[in-house]
Amino acid sequence: MNQQYVDTVRVLLAVAPAVFRSPRFALKGGTALNLFAHDMPRLSVDIDVVFTDHTLNREDALRAIAADLKAAKSAIAALGFHAHLPTAKGGENVKLLVEGSGQRIKVEVNFVLRGTVLPVTQRPLVPKAQELFTTDITLPILDLPELYGGKLVAAMDRQHPRDMFDVLHMLERFGWRSSFIDCFVAYLAGH
């Protein structure tokens, strides 16, 4: 296993609880699949976040995301890491860059698709990751069908090898479950 990836995941796991202090954030994407849903078929080194509150309009949601990321930045700094909130071209503060121990991770909140299709679940770090990283955390995670629905859209859109790997893993383990397809259609409609 590549030591740089291992060290980066250590930073990710150290700061993730600070990010998810916000009750409006839930983990999605490869990190959720590979560290919290499946026993580490691959490592993932970023924190993709869904903003779960679908009741806010865009402007209020952006303000809430910025406030939650600012709070996460302060909590992460208290842990001894450097965190930076870059402003996007449109003026949105939806990313947090974290550096520490020679590693860098990105926390990114999807502000376009807000809310979830299914209820968010609390999931612990998978046993293999607990052993390798000597830590045990539980985070709010999208439900498995929704994780794969989003992953299928990402694979279709980006066609990146990591997305293809995750989809292949889904097919080998689960096949085409109707709940995965339902969530895929919901995400595709909002894409």
Q: Where do the CATH 3.10.450 domains begin and end in the chain?
A: 3-142
The tokens for 180 are 């995965």
* Tens digits of residue pLDDT in 150-190: 888 888 888 878 878 888 888 888 889 999 999 999 988 88
**pTM summary value:** 0.91
* Tens digits of residue pLDDT in 38-47: 888 877 889 9
More confident residue, 132 or 44: 132
Residue 116 has pLDDT above 80, yes or no: yes
- Contacts of the segment 104-107: beta carbons below 8 A, 24+ positions apart: 104/8, 105/8, 105/11, 105/12, 105/15, 105/45, 105/46, 105/47, 106/46, 106/47, 107/15, 107/19, 107/46, 107/47, 107/49, 107/69, 107/72
Residue 90 has pLDDT above 80, yes or no: no
Side-chain half-sphere of 132: how many Cα atoms within 13 Å? 20
CATH number for the segment(s) 3-142: 3.10.450
Is 68:25 a contact under the CB 8 Å cutoff? yes
Over the Cα atoms of the chain, what is R_g? 16
Return mean pLDDT, the chain: 91
